[in-house]
C-alpha cells in the first residue's frame, strides 16, 4: 500500500534530511504506534524508499503494549516496510521514564547495527521541543539544557522537529492510518504530561515555532562554549603524578564551570555533578577553599588542583 502525501510536506521532510546530512542513508525508524511516529514512517517511506526498517520497542510495562506492537507490525506489513519488535533484556525498574528511555535507545542502537542502518530516526516534533524547553526552564537548567532536543545526537536524527503535532496528526488522518493511544500520555504525574496539559488548557504566549528558534540559538551557543572549553582545556589543564592543575585566571565564571567539570571527569569519568552541587564547589574554589566531591579532593588557589583522595582508614 502506497499512501499519497502532499508534495509540500514531503519537500519539507526531505529538506530536513538534507540538513541532517542523511538523505541517502539506510534508516531504522522508531515507531511506537502514536500519530507522531506513524507520520514519520509515512514520510520516510516516500523519502527513503527501500532504505527503511521500522522498529517498535515493547517495554513490557503495560498489558496492552504487545498488542500495540503487533498493530504497528500490521501497518508496516500493509505499507511494505520491514518491521521488528524489540523487548528489553531485563525488567524495567526504578525511575520508569528514564529507565525506559535508556532501555529503548540501547535496543534501537543494537537493532540499527543488526539491520545495517546508519541512522536511527525518532519522531520528536516542535511541540515536544516547546515542552522540553519549559520543563528544563522549570528545573533551572543552564545553556546546555535549554538547547533542548537536538536534531542530531550521534546516530539518532530527528527530522520532524520543524513539524507541529497537529501537522503530524493531519498526515495520519489524511492517509487513513489509525494510531494507538498510550495511556501514560495522560498521566500528569509525569512532568512532560503536566506541562502538556498546562499548555493545552491555559492562555499563554508560547508557541512551538518560537520555542524551536530559541532552542536552536541556545544549541549554537552550547556548541560554541564546548569548542571554547576544548580550546582552553588544551591550554590551561595539565596533569602530573595524578594531580590535575587548571589555570582559571581571567576567565568568565561559565568557562570556569566547564573547565571544572572537565577536570573532575578526567579523574572520574563516572562523576556527573550538576546544579547546586557544581555551583557550591565552584564558589568554594573561587574563594580559595578546599572541598570534596565524590572521591576527588579539590584545592582552590591561584591555580586549581584536583586529585583522588586517599582511601579512608577503616
Mean of all residue pLDDT scores within the chain: 92
Q: What are the residue boundaries of the structural domains of the chain, listed by start?
A: 7-216, 241-308
Residue 314: predicted pLDDT: 56
Between 217 and 312, name the one with better pLDDT: 217
Q: What is the pTM of this model?
A: 0.89
Mention every residue, 6+ apart, whose C-beta is less than 8 A from residue 175.
Answer: 3, 4, 5, 42
pLDDT in tens, 92-138: 887 878 888 999 999 999 999 999 999 999 999 999 999 999 999 99
Helix (H) or strand (E) holding 133: helix 126-138
Residue 309: predicted pLDDT: 84
Q: Which among 164, 130, 165 is positioned nearest to 149, based on CA atoms?
A: 130
pLDDT in tens, 162-215: 999 999 999 999 999 999 987 777 778 788 889 999 999 999 999 999 999 999
Contact assessment for residue 86 and residue 56, using Cβ atoms and an 8 Å cutoff? yes
CATH topology of domain 7-216: Rossmann fold (3.40.50)
Q: What is the dihedral of CA 300, 305, 308, 314, to 10 degrees?
A: -40
Amino acid at each position: 500500500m502506497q499512501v499519497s502525501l502532499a508534495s509540500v510536506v514531503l519537500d519539507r521532510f526531505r529538506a530536513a534530511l538534507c540538513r541532517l546530512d542523511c538523505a541517502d542513508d539506510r534508516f531504522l525508524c522508531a515507531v511506537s504506534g502514536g500519530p507522531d511516529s506513524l507520520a514519520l514512517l509515512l514520510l520516510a517511506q516516500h523519502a527513503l524508499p527501500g532504505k527503511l526498517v521500522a522498529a517498535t520497542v515493547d517495554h513490557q510495562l503495560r498489558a496492552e503494549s504487545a498488542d500495540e506492537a503487533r498493530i504497528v507490525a500490521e501497518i508496516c506489513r500493509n505499507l511494505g516496510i520491514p518491521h521488528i519488535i524489540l523487548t528489553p533484556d531485563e525488567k524495567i525498574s526504578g525511575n520508569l521514564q528514564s529507565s525506559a528511555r535508556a532501555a529503548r535507545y540501547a535496543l534501537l542502537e543494537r537493532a540499527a547495527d543488526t539491520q545495517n542502518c546508519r541512522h536511527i530516526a525518532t519522531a520528536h516534533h516542535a511541540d515536544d521541543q516547546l515542552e522540553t524547553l519549559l520543563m528544563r526552564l522549570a528545573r533551572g537548567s543552564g545553556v546546555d539544557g535549554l538547547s533542548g532536543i537536538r536534531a542530531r545526537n550521534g546516530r539518532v536524527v530527528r527530522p520532524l522537529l520543524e513539524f507541529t503535532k497537529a501537522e503530524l496528526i493531519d498526515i495520519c488522518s489524511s492517509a487513513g492510518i489509525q494510531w494507538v493511544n498510550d495511556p501514560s500520555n495522560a498521566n500528569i504525574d509525569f512532568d512532560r504530561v503536566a506541562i502538556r496539559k498546562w499548555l493545552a488548557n491555559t492562555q499563554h504566549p508560547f508557541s512551538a515555532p518560537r520555542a524551536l528558534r530559541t532552542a536552536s540559538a541556545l544549541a549554537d551557543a552550547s556548541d560554541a562554549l564546548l569548542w571554547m572549553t576544548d580550546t582552553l582545556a588544551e591550554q590551561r589543564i595539565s596533569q602530573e603524578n595524578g594531580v590535575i592543575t587548571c589555570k582559571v585566571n581571567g576567565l568568565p565564571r561559565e568557562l570556569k564551570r566547564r573547565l571544572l567539570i572537565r577536570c573532575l571527569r578526567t579523574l572520574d569519568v563516572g562523576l556527573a555533578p550538576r546544579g547546586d552541587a557544581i555551583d557550591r564547589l565552584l564558589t568554594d574554589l573561587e574563594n580559595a577553599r578546599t572541598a570534596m566531591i565524590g572521591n576527588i579532593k579539590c584545592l582552590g588557589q591561584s591555580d586549581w588542583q584536583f586529585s583522588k583522595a586517599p582511601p579512608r582508614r577503616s
